[in-house]
């Protein structure tokens, strides 16, 4: 039985798992990204990665050297050829040799890629996109993460920064985005975008059930408008319809560009299931150029949840 180690580096946590050749997680470990200094320092993060790898292997009853490889998914621009994290804004890394440093520690091959690419590859190799030749995976979280699989391989672009679908514009001169542009897909279709829509609706309609739910929960969340809509609130329904409208525009753009076999969406918003997916499918298939084609892109919800990134990282030797 071959074993592979996957590491998912995040701004808050670093997660590690030992995965077998069937893409099953054998053991896990997790640690806070912020170490003793309270700041994100590369050398400290490297130490935490090493520690989580050792802990996950100990839990699996193996030594790190027993694994065939280690795969690391990290935010930002990851030069997969050189094994360097060229830039990541939420960790503050610039040109750090993560691959080499981890290889020097464990003496086994290490593979490095962007965390969204790793998550997309996880869904491709073991989740909702299994069996597809070409796939796009979009995660609706604080931002909009995405990865593109073409002919079974992760598409990284000439500068390893491909797949930033969240920063394509869907509304000219629209809402400001964290990237500095206006009208980005992320500004409208991330969970954050949905929360902002919900808050605006609550302010505009104090009589809405949305306000009651915000008070009960202590804050507006990506679920608030959907909870209100389920209870028959018209303002809640209007918010969910507006959200789907923008989400459909961005997804239709992606399908028109890549025409993948499948496009999977993930993130907490997708817990709404058919309440989100059914109107989204209808809106997307109304807008795509290939709507009359005999073979149309399948639109589905991701199945691996938070495990997509760690499984995809473990299997980066195939990507």
Residues in the chain, how many?
A: 319
Instruction: Give yes or no: residues 208 and 313 share one domain.
Output: no
For residue 13, pLDDT over 70 is answered with yes
Instruction: Give yes or no: residues 291 and 157 share one domain.
Output: yes
Nearest-angstrom CA–CA distance, 108 and 119: 22
Query: pLDDT by residue (tens digit) across 57-109?
Result: 999 999 999 999 999 999 999 999 999 999 987 788 999 999 999 999 999 99
Instruction: Give yes or no: residues 33 and 143 share one domain.
Output: no
DSSP state of 143: S
Question: What is the reported pLDDT for 35?
Answer: 58
Instruction: Give yes or no: residues 210 and 243 share one domain.
Output: yes
Confirm if 251 and 299 have CB atoms less than 8 A apart: yes
Instruction: Give yes or no: residues 114 and 143 share one domain.
Output: no
| Average pLDDT for 120-132 | 97
Instruction: Give yes or no: residues 220 and 313 share one domain.
Output: no
Instruction: Give yes or no: residues 55 and 70 share one domain.
Output: yes
Question: What is the reported pLDDT for 11?
Answer: 83
Nearest-angstrom CA–CA distance, 115 and 241: 30
Contacts for 214 with CB less than 8 Å, ≥ 6 apart: 198, 202, 220, 224
Instruction: Give yes or no: residues 112 and 198 share one domain.
Output: no
The total domain count for the chain is: 2
The closest alpha carbon to 139, from 159, 117, 161, belongs to 117
Q: Name the residue range of residue 206's domain.
A: 132-301
Cα radius of gyration rounded to whole Å, the chain = 20
Q: Look over the chain and give the mean of its residue pLDDT values, rounded to a whole number.
A: 95
| Average pLDDT for 250-271 | 96
Contacts for 38 with CB less than 8 Å, ≥ 6 apart: none
Question: What is the reported pLDDT for 69?
Answer: 98
For residue 20, pLDDT over 80 is answered with yes
Nearest-angstrom CA–CA distance, 294 and 129: 20
Query: pLDDT by residue (tens digit) across 161-198?
Result: 999 999 999 999 999 998 899 999 999 999 999 999 99
Instruction: Give yes or no: residues 140 and 193 share one domain.
Output: yes
Question: What is the reported pLDDT for 21?
Answer: 95
Confirm if 153 and 203 have CB atoms less than 8 A apart: no
Q: Between the CA of residue 313 and those of 7, 113, 186, 284, what are the distances in Å?
A: 6, 8, 24, 30
Query: pLDDT by residue (tens digit) across 27-55?
Result: 999 999 875 555 578 999 999 999 999 99
Instruction: Give yes or no: residues 169 and 291 share one domain.
Output: yes
Nearest-angstrom CA–CA distance, 175 and 171: 8
Give the pair of three-digit tokens for residue 190.
Answer: 């991330």
Query: pLDDT by residue (tens digit) across 168-178?
Result: 999 999 999 98
The CATH number assigned to the domain holding 238 equals 3.30.420.40
Instruction: Give yes or no: residues 102 and 138 share one domain.
Output: no
Q: N- to C-terminal Cα distance for the chain?
A: 20
Instruction: Give yes or no: residues 46 and 137 share one domain.
Output: no
- Provide the β-strand partners of residue 7: 16, 72
Q: How confident is the model at residue 255 (pLDDT cuts 50, 70, 90)?
A: very high
């Amino acid at each position: 039985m071959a074993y592979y180690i996957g590491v998912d580096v995040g701004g808050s946590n670093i997660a590690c798992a030992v995965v077998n050749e069937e893409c099953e997680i054998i053991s896990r470990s997790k640690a806070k990204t912020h170490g003793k200094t309270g700041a994100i320092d590369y050398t400290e993060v490297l130490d935490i990665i090493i520690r989580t790898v050792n802990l996950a292997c100990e839990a699996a009853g193996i030594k790190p050297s027993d694994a065939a490889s280690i795969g690391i998914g990290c935010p930002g621009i990851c030069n997969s050829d050189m094994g360097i994290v060229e830039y990541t804004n939420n960790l503050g890394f610039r040109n750090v040799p993560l691959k080499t440093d981890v290889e020097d520690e464990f003496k086994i091959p290490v593979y490095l890629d962007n965390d969204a690419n790793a998550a997309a590859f996880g869904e491709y190799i073991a989740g909702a996109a299994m069996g597809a030749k070409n796939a796009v995976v979009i995660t609706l979280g604080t931002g909009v993460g995405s990865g593109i699989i073409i002919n079974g391989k992760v598409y990284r672009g000439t500068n390893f920064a491909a797949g930033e679908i969240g920063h394509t514009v869907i509304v000219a001169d629209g809402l400001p985005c964290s990237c500095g542009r206006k009208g980005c897909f992320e500004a409208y279709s991330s969970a954050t975008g949905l929360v902002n829509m919900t808050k605006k609706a609550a302010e505009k309609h104090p009589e809405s059930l949305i306000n009651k739910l915000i008070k009960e929960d202590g804050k507006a969340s990506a679920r608030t408008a959907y909870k209100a809509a389920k209870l028959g609130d018209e303002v809640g329904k209007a918010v969910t319809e507006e959200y789907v409208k923008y989400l459909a525009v961005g997804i239709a753009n992606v399908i028109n560009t890549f025409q993948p076999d499948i496009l999977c969406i993930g993130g907490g918003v997708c817990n709404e299931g058919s309440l989100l997916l059914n109107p989204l499918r209808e809106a997307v298939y109304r807008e795509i150029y290939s709507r009359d084609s005999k073979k149309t892109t399948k639109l589905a919800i991701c199945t691996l949840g938070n495990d997509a990134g760690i499984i995809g990282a473990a299997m980066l030797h195939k990507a």
